[in-house]
Amino acid sequence: MSKFALYNGYLLDGTQNMTPQKGLAVLVENGKIRSVVADTAIPKGFPKIDLEGQYLLPGLINLHVHLAGSGKPKKKQTDPIKAVKLVTANAWTKKLGMALVAGYARQQLRSGVTTIRTVGGILDFDSRLRDAINAGKAVGPRILAGNMAVSVPGGHMAGSLAHVAHTPEEAADFVSQIASTGADLIKLMVTGGVLDAVRQGEPGVLKMEPALIKAACDRAHALGLKVAAHVESPEGVRAALENGVDTIEHGAMPDESTLALFRETGASLVTTISPALSYALFDTSVSHATPMQKYNGKIVMDGIVGCAKACLSAGIPVGLGTDTACPYVTQYDTWRELVYFRRFCGVTATQALYTATLGNAKIAGIEKETGSIEAGKSADFVVCRDNPLNDLTTLREPSIVFFRGKKIAPRQSRIREVDQELDNYL
């Protein structure tokens, strides 16, 4: 069906002050929104799809995705270097790995996420999958591909999902190499993370020296690519912003000077509460975290929430991502991040939904293409049974998903043990 009209629903358009609108029809033609008209004015030639009083909203956007994992918690952490070595051992294992990654991307789409931004993956799998999806050879969401990231010796994901740069020159060369694999953005591992920490009270130690951050950012910008950086400490945020990073992923407790740096540089924050929550709040018998990981996890979670709140009140753009493939962060639960954003950062449901749609689109630079239900944009929609502004958990099970005008079956097999634990935080 290249043309159709969605009618008899409540429209939530994704804009900042959206309210449910009745009596409208969305006309879709060749994968794009042609216009939004009164439902009494649907032109001939547009077959009508009755939404039966359900809610029509833009497809969600997840700004922080790793496609190489399910998020199913394990008792013992697997060694990421060994795991990636296994997947990339030969042509056959690479094919298997690629199929796995494609399956996870499909889960994202089926859960109502029509755009993902990947920030650390295996080789060039993300951009190859993006191209296959764009060519109609695979079913999945729009992908802004980060491919492999850049780290430093002993840094976050070094040698697995990230190249290991020893010098600024080497960092710049890796950026060029990643760009040549077809990446849409560059990811830097500026600090360590909860699992890298060796001391209690010191998660997110600054690992990447400022000259190296600058060299990588300069090269990325010269190539027309933006830079996203994994940062989990205040000194990391400062070093990242002072040296050209465009988005701070995760964040840390800010002070006035870091907020001023955000403002000066025009950088945005991408909040990710999902990966921190299990380390910080679960009992260690459930999370399998060590007492130190739990302690540091709490510092990181407080930093992420504190950074988001401070940026929100300072008018700095804040987006949302889930850091999928971390323990307890599945490829189909982006909606939970909206729930946490509301619960821990004190935003309204409207603001949470705006952030996960048009807000995220603006941060990713794709707001002309998607993020809201407006004429000319891609026909990316989620249909929900209830009003998400009253209850965000209705996003858990969309009744229909549309991507580029195509209807996607919202089928989902869920991991029960993950639901059981996480549903305590709704």
Q: Which is nearer to Zn ion, 69 or 234 (CB)?
A: 69
Q: Which is nearer to Zn ion, 162 or 384 (CB)?
A: 162
> Which residue in 133, 128, 141, 127 sits closest to 187, CA to CA?
127
Q: How far is the CB of 418 from Zn ion (least distance, A)?
A: 18
Cα–Cα distances in Å, from 116 out to 62, 308, 330, 356?
Answer: 5, 20, 14, 11
> Which residue in 295, 292, 251 sits closest to 273, CA to CA?
251
Q: How far is the CB of 260 from Zn ion (least distance, A)?
A: 26
Token pair 């549903």 is found at: 423
Torsion, Cα 195 287 67 220, to 10 degrees, reads -30
Q: Which is nearer to Zn ion, 126 or 323 (CB)?
A: 323
Q: How many residues belong to the chain? A: 426
Cα(80)–Cα(224) distance, integer angstroms:
30
Q: How far is the CB of 127 from Zn ion (least distance, A)?
A: 17
Q: Which is nearer to Zn ion, 62 or 127 (CB)?
A: 62
Q: Which is nearer to Zn ion, 323 or 367 (CB)?
A: 323
Q: How far is the CB of 374 from Zn ion (least distance, A)?
A: 31
DSSP label of 388: T
Give me the residues paired with residue 226 across strands.
185
Strands (E) in 18-157, as ranges, are 24-29, 32-38, 48-50, 55-58, 60-65, 113-118, 142-144, 149-151
Q: Which is nearer to Zn ion, 246 or 323 (CB)?
A: 323
Strands (E) in 85-135, as ranges, are 113-118
Q: How far is the CB of 66 from Zn ion (least distance, A)?
A: 6
Q: Which is nearer to Zn ion, 124 or 323 (CB)?
A: 323
- With CB atoms as reference, the residue minimizing the distance to Zn ion is 323
Q: How far is the CB of 92 from Zn ion (least distance, A)?
A: 28
Q: How far is the CB of 424 from Zn ion (least distance, A)?
A: 24
Cα(418)–Cα(415) distance, integer angstroms:
6
Q: Which is nearer to Zn ion, 323 or 374 (CB)?
A: 323
* Inter-residue contact 362 to 318 (CB < 8 Å): no
Q: How far is the CB of 341 from Zn ion (least distance, A)?
A: 17
| Residues of the shown chain interacting with Zn ion in the complex, contacts defined by CB under 5 A | 323
* Inter-residue contact 98 to 125 (CB < 8 Å): yes
